[in-house]
Amino acid sequence: MRFSLGLTGSIGMGKSTTAQMFADEGCALWDADAAVHRLYAKGGAAVEPMREVFPSAIVEGAVSREELKQTIANDPAALKVIENIVHPLVAADRTAFREGASADILVFDIPLLFETSGDAAMDAVACVSIPADEQKRRVMARGTMTEAQFEQIRTKQMPNEEKCARSDYVILTDTLDHARVQVQNIIRQIRAGMADA
């Protein structure tokens, strides 16, 4: 018997770090962002379909995220076209992972899990969370985006309170040690439930 746990959370909440904690505890981890990177890389499954529609987005044999951003900025309708190419490929990558994984708990790190109705394919969902001011502080400290870009991303994501309310588990990522204890507790609960099933 295997258990599929969706892991989600808004930008800057500590999701990637928490995902790694699940992997450290012996769970198999699938990362949606990493899957997209694989698809966009040289030789990746998204390169040729993307070249047919947006040839300018292919730079040195790979899909350039910067070029795609520019394409979407020039033509907002392009986003739908891109999603129609990428989403089925990501789904296929996820299915291959599911079929090939041998761990008892599979963790699916998906930022837009609820937004894309991906929670329907999970046995349970865990959401990482921190207060909004700490979230903003962490994202700004990375130095990779402006405040306006951060707010733009945040408006596209479901509000944190709603994500937490819809999740089976909420992991507060205020400190690494606290997050790790919560991850271990969740795994213990899941394994106990599987033993009883």
pLDDT band at 108, cuts 50/70/90?
very high
Question: Of 17, 6, 38, nearest to 110 (Cα)?
Answer: 6
Q: Which domain CATH number covers 186?
A: 3.40.50.300
pLDDT of residue 1: 82
Question: Of 175, 30, 191, 38, nearest to 113 (Cα)?
Answer: 30
- 188 with 130, same domain: the answer is yes
**Last residue of some domain: 71, 102, 133?**
102
- 120 with 175, same domain: the answer is yes
- 4 with 55, same domain: the answer is no
Contact 10, 160 (CB under 8 A): yes
Element (H, E) at 170: strand 169-172
- 187 with 152, same domain: the answer is yes
Residue that is written with structure tokens 């994202």 in the block: 139
Average pLDDT estimate for 1-5:
93
The total of structural domains in the chain comes to: 2
pLDDT digits (tens, 9 = 90+) for 86-99: 999 999 999 999 99
- 86 with 20, same domain: the answer is no
pLDDT of residue 54: 94
Q: What percent of the chain has pLDDT over 70?
A: 100
- 44 with 126, same domain: the answer is no
- 14 with 46, same domain: the answer is no
Contact 19, 7 (CB under 8 A): yes
- 19 with 74, same domain: the answer is no
**Last residue of some domain: 48, 68, 102?**
102
pLDDT of residue 155: 83
pLDDT of residue 102: 94
**Domain interval for residue 49:** 33-102
CA separation for the pair 35, 4 (Å, rounded): 17
**Last residue of some domain: 56, 80, 102?**
102
pLDDT digits (tens, 9 = 90+) for 53-74: 999 999 999 999 999 989 988 9
CA separation for the pair 90, 118 (Å, rounded): 12
How many Å is the maximal CA-CA distance in the chain?
A: 55
pLDDT band at 149, cuts 50/70/90?
confident
pLDDT digits (tens, 9 = 90+) for 122-140: 999 999 999 999 999 999 9
